Amino acid sequence: MTDRDSQMAGLRPVKAVVIGASAGGVEALLTIFAGLKPGYRLPIIVVLHLPDERRSQLAEVFARRVALPVREAQDKQPIVPGTLYFAAPGYHVSVEHDLSLSLSQEEPVHYSRPAIDYLFESAADVYQQRLAAILLTGANQDGARGLSQVKQSGGLTIIQDPDEAQVATMPRAALELFQPDCILPLSGIGRLLVELEHIECY
């Protein structure tokens, strides 16, 4: 990413990255994580909608293809820098003020549990402006509200370019609600993740 790009994105140091994705999400996530090197230092927490509520292999699938340690989110698990967390199927996941994760079986949001809104809103509360939130492809309205909350708390908001997204409903729903800091293709989001770590170091 060039200097001009990062100025455009209004980049500032963050302490964590949260990501929401639905239909088409697995491929999109693999693409944006492809450029991450071992030793990457930001924690990344992901809600990916899956059709099935039961046990998932997400963490295993990603562990084989991503350079960071990958975990399925557990209740009260401390958020460790440089770890990639996936929400467990059937449970909402939130960030707590002591920087741990909590799970919940409250009612689904937009028919989804885990819900992106649930994660984003709680993370916005805790990290405030020290948060980057990314909304990717999906056939659902989930995440739009949460992302706008991140924006209101001063965090950095990124939406996948709907023209490029496999399913544009989710990015479009968010764009209808507010103007994010950047609208980027997957390649740009991948570079942004790397860039966010660099500015975090200095």
**Closer to another protein by Cβ: residue 78 or 199:** 78
CB 144 within 8 A of CB 173: yes
The three state secondary structure string of 69-128 is CEEECCCCCECCCCCEEECCCCCEEEECCCCEEEEECCCCECCECCCHHHHHHHHHHHHH
**Closer to another protein by Cβ: residue 9 or 115:** 115
Instruction: Give 148-151's long-range contacts (Cβ < 8 A, gap of 24+).
Output: 148/174, 148/177, 148/178, 149/120, 149/121, 149/124, 150/18, 150/120, 150/123, 150/124, 151/178, 151/180, 151/181
**Closer to another protein by Cβ: residue 60 or 98:** 98
- Minimum CB distance to another protein, residue 102 (Å): 4
Radius of gyration of the chain (CA): 15
**Closer to another protein by Cβ: residue 23 or 109:** 109
Instruction: Please report, to the nearest 10 degrees, the dihedral formed by the alpha carbons of residues 197, 142, 58, 87 taken in order.
Output: 70
Please list the active-site residues. Answer: 22, 49, 142
Residues that bind another protein (CB under 8 A): 74-78, 88, 91, 94-98, 100, 102-106, 118, 121-122, 125
- Minimum CB distance to another protein, residue 99 (Å): 11
Q: Please, what's the largest Cα pairwise distance for the chain?
A: 45
CB 109 within 8 A of CB 76: no
- Minimum CB distance to another protein, residue 185 (Å): 32
- Minimum CB distance to another protein, residue 90 (Å): 8
